[in-house]
């Protein structure tokens, strides 16, 4: 399954009123400060690559070092993919929330930043929930010297001049099925031109996931991608898809409620990508055989309703999400559906 990027700062519910905070792109910052931030990020990435969670924790903001489970889990997941890597700084932003006010109850407020490159109409913006006041930097590092490219983004907070502590860690793969985000974007456009709206929607979604270093970033570039996805979206997905708004299908085994659709690496990378579908399951079934049969029926209902999916994916992974928080996962090859 896709590696989950963890943000300890995320405790969502955006404030009704947001004020833009100062943002400095790397082209406008002093080289010495950029280098200091890059070195701090590279050192933390090296600790993560070595699986040294305690070393990372020692350099983490105190409020997040106390509750470190999310970051530790991200390090555990990413370390095997980062071992032996050297890190190349892709970009750095300074996000100055020093003037960000706390709420009346003392809780941190959401912060928004708009970054514009000099002489360019392009804009990158960040919306970070529950951000304590302070001066932050977002540093994005690309791996070098590994068999598969990964990226590590980090939100850092300046504790003293020249010293930066970790506030959020976001490691992720930058390829799916051997292809990058721009390839998925181009292929999504090709599917849209062929009126294969379901394939286009999943490929646009994968393109966005691969092109965004962190979930709280958006840009003029990504706005264009999102606009294309919305324009070509299947009618059934025009309002989105989720647990409160599932895609409802009727199969031979009854009603299927699909809560998400995305691309996923096939187990054998040479096979390209699979379709990953989460379904809502009302209850646990008595044995694995019955659970597998339910997943297979859901996959079959999906590709029967939208047969174009057969041409774009090697198979279908189905995750049956149970009310108790558990799930049952199985893979269904397309030639079995």
Block means of pLDDT (10 residues each) for the chain, 337 residues, are 43 43 91 96 97 97 93 96 96 94 86 80 89 95 93 96 94 94 98 98 97 95 96 92 93 88 88 94 84 94 96 96 90 92
- CA 162, 8, 182: angle at the middle one, nearest 5? 85
Bridge partner list, 331 = 317
Residue 253 lies in a domain: yes
Residues contacting 139, CB < 8 A, separation 6+: 37, 38, 40, 41, 89, 91, 92, 153, 154, 156
* Domain around 104: 20-173
| pLDDT for res 230 | 95
Domain boundary pick from 173, 189, 209? 173
Dmax over CA atoms of the chain, in Å, equals: 65
| pLDDT for res 119 | 61
| pLDDT for res 21 | 83
**Cα distance between residue 126 and residue 131, in whole Å:** 12
- Judging by beta carbons within 10 Å of its beta carbon (0-12, 13-18, 19+), is residue 282 exposed, middle or buried? exposed
Bridge partner list, 92 = 139
143 & 102 share domain: yes
Spell out the alpha helix ranges (H) of 50-180: 53-57, 62-65, 69-82
Domain boundary pick from 173, 192, 224? 173
| pLDDT for res 7 | 46
| pLDDT for res 203 | 98
Number of independent structural domains in the chain: 3
């Amino acid at each position: 399954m896709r590696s989950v990027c963890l943000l300890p700062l995320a405790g969502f519910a955006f404030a009704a009123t947001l004020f833009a905070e100062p943002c400095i792109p790397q082209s406008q910052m002093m080289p010495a400060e950029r280098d200091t931030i890059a070195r701090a990020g590279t050192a933390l990435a090296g600790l993560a690559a070595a699986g040294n969670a305690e070393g990372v924790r020692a350099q983490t903001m105190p409020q997040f070092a106390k509750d470190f489970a999310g970051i530790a889990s991200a390090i555990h997941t990413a370390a095997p993919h980062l071992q032996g890597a050297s890190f190349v700084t892709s970009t750095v932003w300074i996000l100055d929330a020093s003037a960000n006010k706390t709420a009346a109850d003392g809780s941190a407020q959401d912060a928004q930043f708009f970054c514009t490159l000099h002489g360019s109409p392009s804009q990158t913006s960040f919306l970070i929930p529950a951000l304590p006041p302070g001066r932050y930097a977002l540093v994005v590092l690309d791996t070098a010297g590994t068999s598969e490219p990964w990226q590590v983004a980090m939100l850092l907070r300046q504790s003293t001049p020249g010293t930066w502590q970790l506030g959020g860690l976001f490691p992720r793969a930058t390829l799916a099925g051997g292809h990058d985000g721009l390839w998925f974007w181009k292929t999504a456009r090709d599917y849209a031109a062929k009126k294969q709206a379901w394939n286009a929607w999943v490929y646009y979604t994968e393109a966005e996931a691969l092109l965004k270093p962190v979930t709280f970033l958006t840009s003029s570039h990504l706005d264009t991608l999102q606009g294309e996805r919305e324009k070509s979206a299947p009618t059934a997905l025009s309002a989105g898809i989720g647990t409160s708004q599932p895609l409802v299908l009727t199969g031979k085994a009854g009603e299927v409620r699909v809560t998400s659709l995305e691309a996923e690496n096939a187990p054998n990378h040479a096979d390209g990508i699979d379709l990953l579908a989460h379904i809502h399951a009302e209850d646990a079934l008595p044995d694995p055989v019955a659970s597998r049969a339910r997943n297979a029926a859901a996959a079959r209902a999906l590709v029967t309703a939208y047969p174009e999916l057969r041409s774009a994916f090697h198979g279908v992974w189905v995750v049956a999400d149970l009310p108790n928080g558990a799930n049952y996962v199985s893979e269904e090859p397309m030639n079995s559906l």
